[in-house]
Amino acid sequence: MKFSVSAVAALLSCAFVTEVSAEDAARVYGAASLTSALTDIAADWKASAHPAPTLVFAASSTLARQINAGAPADLFGSADTSWMDAVEKAGKLAPGTRVNLLGNTLVLIVPKGRKFDVQMSKDFNLAAAYQGKLCTGEPGVVPVGIYAKAALQSLGWWAQLEKRIVGTDDVRTALAFVERGECPLGIVYATDAAISARVEVLATFPESTHQPIVYPFALLKGARPEARALFEYLKTAPASAVFERYGFSLLVR
C-alpha cells in the first residue's frame, strides 16, 4: 500500500498533536471524597475540547506526602486545611493560588436497614447502643478521621469507642466497610454517604463538634497552563453545579 507525501505528513501531524495533548493534560491530585464530583467535572472538561486530566485520588495525607516527595502534580484539592498547610510549608504551592473552595458535613452511617435510635448529645451512650466496630479514616491522619475524633471527643464518646475504631486509608474505604456490613457503624462525609444505596445516614454531627470541613484547592509550582485553566473552571457555574449535585457546599461563588 502506498501513501502520498501529504497523507504521511497528515498522519505524522495527528500523532504529534495527540502526543502534545497528552503531555499538556492537567495532573490533579484530589481527596478521595472528591472522586465522584471531579470525575464528572473532568468528563465535562474533556467534552469541551480539552485533554482529559489525569486524576489521582487518595487520602489528603497520602497525596500531600507524595507531592512533598516530588510527585508530578499540577493541582491539589485537599479535604482539610492542615494537609494543604503541609504542602504550602514545603514550598510546593504556586503563590497566591490557594482558595477554600468547598465545604462538607460529617455523618454517622449504618448499613442499609440497620438504623437504630441515636441522640447527638453527651447524655447518649453510643458505645452501648450497638455491637461491633466503627469505621472511619485513620484518626489524627486522614482528614475524615481527624474530624471524627474531634466530634467523638466533643460528645464525650471517644474514650468508650477508641478501641473499637477501625482507621482506614481514606473515607471511601470506610464507606466500603460499612456497605459490606463489616463495620456496623461508620463516620464519613455526607457527600460519600449520598452516593451509596447500601448505607443510611443515622445522624449528622453538629458543626460545633469539630472544625469546619473545608476543601482548599491550589496550583503547584510549575503547573502547566492547562491546569491553570482547569483550576479556574472549578470556580465556574457549571463546575459548581456538579459539586452541589454531590452535596458539597460552595465557599466561593
Task: Write out pLDDT tens, residues 93-102.
Answer: 999 999 999 9
Are 110 and 187 in contact, with CB atoms under 8 Å apart?
no
Q: Is residue 38 pLDDT above 60, yes or no?
A: yes
CATH number of 5-103+214-250: 3.40.190.10
Closest by CA position to 230, among listed 44, 92, 4, 71:
44
Are 41 and 242 in contact, with CB atoms under 8 Å apart?
yes
Q: For the beta carbon of residue 218, count every other beta carbon within 10 angstroms.
A: 22
The whole-number average pLDDT for the span 72-99 is 98
C-alpha cell at 89: 510549608
Which residue intervals of 90-142 are DSSP H helices? Answer: 126-129
pLDDT band at residue 14, thresholds of 50, 70 and 90? very low
**pLDDT value of position 23:** 60
**pLDDT value of position 16:** 33
How far is Cα 148 from Cα 163, in angstroms, rounded to an integer? Answer: 14
**What is the per-residue pLDDT across 115-163, written as a single tens digit (0 to 9) for each?**
999 999 999 999 999 999 999 999 999 999 999 999 999 999 999 999 9
* Domain boundaries defined on the chain: 5-103+214-250, 106-209
**pLDDT value of position 122:** 96
Which residue intervals of the chain are DSSP H helices? Answer: 5-24, 35-47, 60-68, 81-89, 126-129, 143-154, 158-161, 171-179, 190-194, 225-233, 237-245
The residues that bridge with 58 in the sheet, in sequence order, are 31
pLDDT top residue among 14 and 145: 145
Q: Is residue 112 pLDDT above 80, yes or no?
A: yes
Tell me, rounded to whole angstroms, the distance of Cα 122 from its chain centroid.
30
Asked which of 13-22, 88-97, 131-140 is least confident by mean pLDDT, the reply is: 13-22
**pLDDT value of position 249:** 97
pLDDT band at residue 22, thresholds of 50, 70 and 90? low
CATH number of 106-209: 3.40.190.10
Closest by CA position to 215, among listed 173, 171, 252:
252
* Neighbour-count burial of 13, counting CB atoms closer than 10 A to its CB (0-12 exposed, 13-18 middle, 19+ buried): exposed
**pLDDT value of position 252:** 85
Dihedral pair phi/psi, residue 201, rounded to 5°: -80, 125
C-alpha cell at 115: 438504623
The whole-number average pLDDT for the span 98-111 is 98
